[in-house]
Chain A
Amino acid sequence: MLNQEIRNQFPSLADKVYGKPLVYFDNAATSLRPIETVKQLSHLSLHVNANIHRAVHSLASAATEEFEKTRDAVKDYIGASSREEIIFTSGTTASINLVASSFGERFFNEGDNIIISEAEHHSNIVPWQLICERKHVEIKVLPVDDSGHLRVDLLPSLLNDKTKLVAVAHISNVLGLVNPIDEIVRIAHEKGVPVLVDGAQGIVHQVINVEKTDCDFYAFSGHKCYAATGTGVLYGKKKWLDQMPPYMGGGEMIGSVSFAGSTYAPLPGKFEAGTQNINAIPTLRTGIDLLKQFSDKSLANETEAVKSYLLDKLTSDDRITLFGVPHRTSEKVPVFSFCVKGVHHEDLALILDKLGIAVRSGQMCAEPLMDRMGVTGMVRASLAPYNTMEEAEYFVKSLDRAIKMLS
């Protein structure tokens, strides 16, 4: 598939800002939306809008089918063993909060500990702080080294018989390095400790097979991989989900209700209280279709070339410090966070914006990692397969111009 064919599916790519072609390098925050997702969302909203599961009329059954077909598609795509293990949520944050609250409620006791990495997004830190404070559980931190690699060698010494969970990102949203989650899972499982993987970035850049990886939970969002916002997935092993109490109470998640007490619906309904995001969840199928197209070899090669070009440019310029420098290029995804000596990250982002380039600046929701790297913020350029070599070259030229203006 040609890059131009892909670009045509994303109308924003033809837009201009300040009279200049938009170069969208903020894909790690959210991807652009393809026409197909919007069409699907609009079609479902206009023609298949009925509440799912309960009613007997045909519109409700069509809506239910759209919703449940999506569960099967997600299950197949991530290699889960059963559809009961796929819980729909509003996004990664909601998925992690669900596990923190429910798994924590069931399994955390005073004096226990959990392990999270130093390179986590706030969404994989704060939900744990909330439950751990309530349950008097200690949070241990798995550090990163100066190049941004997780110190997996230290994991065995952090694990003990009071460790209840390891929570780690598949790919850091700042460093863009693929963490060795298979190895982390293996080490944790040797001590009988389950592992939650924050897949917000991982789902975009890697093909995950949860059964092969053997992680216990995998959380991701739809909006970063071309589906509608407000869509997300929590994969959880059935053996855990069965033991976990409901997270929210309401319609759909119940077996029977009386004032003497209620029983709960079987999986996955137990964790899907209230009316779901019925029109948007099915767009996850479109997102998955695109992820599959993007892993097509010829296109993947082009994406790799753009990535290698930027990696080379950002590591060979001594004005620039890149965070997350890979040992080998295959462990790096096109997420580049960097600082420029003597130049404020926000100034750089502002000048780049005026040149038509959208990048992120600031702490990237990872304040502990900023502290670890000794900076108050960074600039992040994050690419998707619809970005081109021309855009990457324009970015490098513009960055040089911005640095010269600002120093």
Chain B
Amino acid sequence: MESLQDKKQQIVEEFAMYDEWLDKYEYLIELGKQLAPYPEDARDESHLIKGCQSRVWLDWKVEDGKLVFSADSDAIITKGIISLLVSVYSGRTPREIAEDDFGFLSEIGLKENLSPTRANGLVSMVETIKNAAAAQI
């Protein structure tokens, strides 16, 4: 598995390939479609991320000292966003995640190009992932 830094760099480069935001959304939609199926028994209120207009579920478990995330959303662009986060942070140690600044999200300009409600949703997703990591340390 590539390092967290490499993975983030790879995402930044992929985003830079597209000039138009519409194309970046196409890319996010593709990421959403690639997301592994979400465990049905975790599709409940307690796994919902608060602060999102569309519904986003996030579940995690610890395997070999690493956090493994699974996620889903009923809106496909939001699903793409959470898929992006899962692809970067799943399989990392809690310490790696807790110490990360999530700065690559500003680098790709994602938050700035979302509607305010979705931008808040993104913040909530990041917070939930950080909290999950912090709880394991």
Q: Which of A75-83, A133-141, A243-251, A344-352 lies at the interface?
A: A344-352
Q: Kindly state the interface size class of chain B when it binds its partner.
A: 10 to 19
Cβ-defined contact, A350 with B118, below 8 A: yes
Q: Is the C-beta of B22 less than 8 angstroms from some C-beta in chain A? A: yes
Instruction: Among A18, A344, A355, A362, find the residue whose CB has the most chain B CB atoms closer than 10 A.
Output: A344
Cβ-defined contact, A405 with B118, below 8 A: no
Q: Is the C-beta of B100 less than 8 angstroms from some C-beta in chain A? A: no
Q: Is the C-beta of A154 less than 8 angstroms from some C-beta in chain B? A: no
Q: Is the C-beta of A158 less than 8 angstroms from some C-beta in chain B? A: no
Cβ-defined contact, A344 with B75, below 8 A: yes
- Residue in B closest to A363 when the chains form the complex, CB atoms: B53
List A contacts of B78 (CB < 8 A). 344, 346-347
List B contacts of A353 (CB < 8 A). 115
> Given the known A-B contacts A353-B115, A405-B29, A406-B29, are A347 and B22 also in contact in the complex, defined by CB atoms under 8 Å?
no
Q: Is the C-beta of A354 less than 8 angstroms from some C-beta in chain B? A: yes
Q: How far is the CA of A346 from the CA of B53 in the complex (A)?
A: 8
Cβ-defined contact, A347 with B115, below 8 A: no
Q: Pick the contact of A405: B21, B25, B74 (CB < 8 A).
A: B25
Cβ-defined contact, A350 with B22, below 8 A: no
Kindly identify, within residues 1 to 60 of chain B, every residue whose CB is under 8 Å from any CB belonging to chain A: 20-22, 25-26, 29, 53-54
Instruction: Among A347, A349, A362, find the residue whose CB has the most chain B CB atoms closer than 10 A.
Output: A347
The smallest beta-carbon distance between B26 and chain A, in angstroms, is 6
Q: How far is the CA of A202 from the CA of B53 in the complex (A)?
A: 29
List A contacts of B108 (CB < 8 A). none
Cβ-defined contact, A354 with B76, below 8 A: no
Cβ-defined contact, B22 with A351, below 8 A: yes
Q: Pick the contact of A354: B25, B53, B74, B75 (CB < 8 A).
A: B25
The smallest beta-carbon distance between B45 and chain A, in angstroms, is 15
Q: Is the C-beta of B67 less than 8 angstroms from some C-beta in chain A? A: no
In this complex, how many residues of chain A approach chain B with their Cβ under 8 Å: the count is 15
Kindly identify, within residues 67 to 124 of chain B, every residue whose CB is under 8 Å from any CB belonging to chain A: 74-78, 114-115, 117-118
Cβ-defined contact, A346 with B22, below 8 A: no
List B contacts of A18 (CB < 8 A). 20-21
- Residue in A closest to B121 when the chains form the complex, CB atoms: A346
The smallest beta-carbon distance between A339 and chain B, in angstroms, is 13
- Residue in A closest to B21 when the chains form the complex, CB atoms: A354
List A contacts of B74 (CB < 8 A). 344, 376
| Chain A residues in the interface with B (C-beta under 8 A) | 18, 343-344, 346-347, 349-351, 353-355, 362, 376, 405-406
| Chain B residues in the interface with A (C-beta under 8 A) | 20-22, 25-26, 29, 53-54, 74-78, 114-115, 117-118
7 pairs of A and B residues whose beta carbons are closest in the complex: A344-B75, A354-B22, A347-B77, A347-B75, A346-B75, A354-B21, A347-B76
Could you write out 29 A-B pairs with CB less than 8 Å apart?
A18-B21, A343-B76, A344-B54, A344-B75, A344-B77, A346-B53, A346-B54, A346-B75, A346-B77, A346-B78, A346-B115, A346-B117, A346-B118, A347-B75, A347-B77, A347-B78, A349-B115, A350-B25, A350-B118, A351-B77, A353-B115, A354-B20, A354-B21, A354-B22, A355-B22, A362-B53, A376-B74, A405-B25, A406-B76
Given A351-B22, A362-B53, A376-B74: 20 more A-B contacts, CB < 8 Å: A18-B20, A18-B21, A343-B76, A344-B54, A344-B74, A344-B75, A344-B76, A346-B53, A346-B54, A346-B77, A346-B78, A346-B117, A347-B75, A349-B115, A350-B25, A350-B77, A351-B25, A354-B25, A405-B25, A406-B76
